Structure 1
Amino acid sequence: MKATLFDRYGGFGAVHRVVLSFYDRMLDSDIVGPYFDDVDMPALVDHQTKFISQVMGGPATYTNEVLEQLHRNLDITQEAFNEMADILESTLFDFDFAPEDVRTIMSDVRGRRQYIVSRS
């Protein structure tokens, strides 16, 4: 059986380190940083670690419906989604993810745009 990206890159511990760095960068962004004012960051990092783990073939399960419910009232713009995706992609490269693995992860994340970006 072929190892998942989740297993190949070290499981939850490794994904957690990536997500911590990702959110440090997100908080520094003028575009997406304000979305995290008054947010319970440890809880968010935990959820995002599980989500990215799922995208990488790990055990967590977030349905698109759950993603939509969680983001519904956040007024996330296309610009903010693009900024998030760019930050995630650069974070993955900085953690020495192989280009083809970054493409796989980012394809999944970008494919969920419609469940995260506000429709208004």
Structure 2
Amino acid sequence: MAKNGTYSPDIIATLRAALDAAAPPLLTKQEVVRELRNNVRAARGRGCPDQQILDIFAAQGITMTPSTLRSYLADKPARVKPPRKASALAAAQELKAAVPSEDAIRTAVPADTVSLEAVE
């Protein structure tokens, strides 16, 4: 690259060759199932059981459980699990410790020491 932001025309051939040789990124199991969602649903509609669909995927090296297949085919995102009871209890105790009690707030500044003249 030249200092003024110009490029040699030879760079186009180099970039074109690099882009033509670039491989697409690998897909996850979930992305594969989502790409084939309509095909899987059509097979189910024709009476194909989930186990047969899983066997077809397994023949290509993609193994999963029936519940995983169902979750990948679901239209809604997976449900977020609520926190475990112990961690929820710890969070509540931490919050309680951070917030002063109502009595502590009342006794922090005696009412007779506050004057309106000081506010103005």
TM-score, normalisation: structure 2: 0.26
Highest Rg: 1 or 2?
2
* RCO comparison, higher one (Cα < 8 Å, 6+): 1
TM-score, normalisation: structure 1: 0.26
